[in-house]
Amino acid sequence: MRWQVQRLLPASLVVIVQSLLINILLGTSVTQLYGVSPETFAPLQWWRYGLFTLIGAVGAIVVYAVLPRYSKKPVETFRLIALVVLLLSFVPNLLMLSNPEMPRAGVVGLMLMHVAPYALSVVVLPVWGSEPKEVSEEYGKKRRKKGKGDQLSMKKTASA
Domain ranges in the chain are: 5-129, 133-160
Tens-digit pLDDT profile for residues 55-108: 999 999 999 999 988 999 999 999 999 999 999 999 999 999 999 999 999 999
Model pLDDT, residue 7: 86
Q: What is the mean pLDDT of residues 106-123?
A: 96
Rg (CA), the chain: 20
Angle formed by the axes of helices 104-128 and 74-97, to 10°?
Answer: 170
Contact of 128 with 10, CB cutoff 8 Å: yes
Tens-digit pLDDT profile for residues 134-149: 555 555 566 666 665 5
Model pLDDT, residue 56: 96
Model pLDDT, residue 23: 98
Model pLDDT, residue 5: 74
Q: What is the mean pLDDT of residues 29-45?
A: 95
Question: Residues 6 or more apart from 10 whose CB is under 8 A from it?
Answer: 128
